[in-house]
A and B are shown apart, each in its own frame.
Chain A
């Protein structure tokens, strides 16, 4: 049986919106939970970087919400986390469940690519397999041969091909230090924040013309998928190009996060919202 770490954290109002747990908060809690699992069962994140010259960069993530969990539901959130190696040491995958007292309400699956760090103060590195001393910290049933494949490219193709386009927008941004991690590289949950901000701007700009979009403010996101190409760094300028579609009874936003130079793709975020069965505006 793969090992799990289970613990609870007290809720605070900053983890929530009126609609439930903040997706960005779940990503931040999830990354921290993965670090907890590594420290308890394998090698701490700090030692991985400092002693084993191994960095971890999130490449793909999926976040799915079941019933929303709200601030007033419980005093504590129940956290469960496990991790495993995939793709012959080319990936480290973490699964984090966040829930109320009785059941899990949100599930984050994040796939990291290991980097072999050069050893310089900028923590520069290149993608590499996990070293044998790191692999030895995992049990056989925590090592899986098939690599993780991101569902985002196929999802994007299906939504664009079969969905009905509703609206498009663009939001510019600059990466500030509070959005970065220890190496002045953006912290990956910021992709969720930037996408959500762009979606809110798009809804406000277009809701009068397309009332359907209001579902993305009235209801919580049910599923998020993220795929990262290249990171942003401190003071990098970029933009979120957002497109909204109605697809298979859902409202789907496709957010392309691009660098300001020639709109180079950096990350792709999809958000899915349930649509009400009866719509007052129809």
Chain B
């Protein structure tokens, strides 16, 4: 699937905005993405390995709830990662 990375997350993907990831589900894609871009791991996942609630994850424009991250997704599906707010 095609993962779109935005804004405050860009520095954790070496400023790559569009990344192709081969994975069967959205969650698997995020894990694979974090394997490829190690600094992203602690940003995307908490200590228990769960995606942090501070991120908004969209599949083809639809906001996913945490229990929907196991949704299957194909090569042409689009996933968008957004950080809702940060506290600098």
Contacts and interface: CB of A to CB of B under 8 A. Distances in A.
A55 interface: yes
B53 A126 contact: yes
B88 A181 contact: yes
A124 B84 contact: yes
Interface residues of B, number: 22
A234 B8 CA distance: 6
A182 interface: yes
Interface residues of A, number: 28
B80 to A, nearest CB: 10
B31 interface: no
Contact of A124 (B10, B39, B43): B43
B15 to A, nearest CB: 9
B12 A121 contact: yes
Contacts of B10: 184, 234-235
Nearest to A185: B86
Interface string B68-88: 000000000000000111111
A182 B11 CA distance: 12
Nearest to A232: B7
A232 B87 CA distance: 13
Given A115-B85, A117-B87, A121-B43, A236 B6 contact: yes
Contacts of B7: 184-185, 232-236
A183 interface: yes
A120 interface: yes
A55 B85 CA distance: 10
B52 A118 contact: yes
Contacts of A117: 87
Nearest to B80: A261
B36 interface: no
Interface in A114-143: 115, 117-118, 120-127
Contacts of A120: 42-43, 52
A25 interface: no
Contacts of B85: 57, 115, 124-127, 185, 230-231
A49 interface: yes
B26 to A, nearest CB: 19
Contacts of B84: 124, 126, 230
B9 interface: yes
A54 interface: yes
Interface of A: 49, 54-57, 115, 117-118, 120-127, 181-185, 230-236
7 contacts: A49-B87, A115-B86, A117-B87, A118-B46, A124-B55, A230-B84, A234-B7
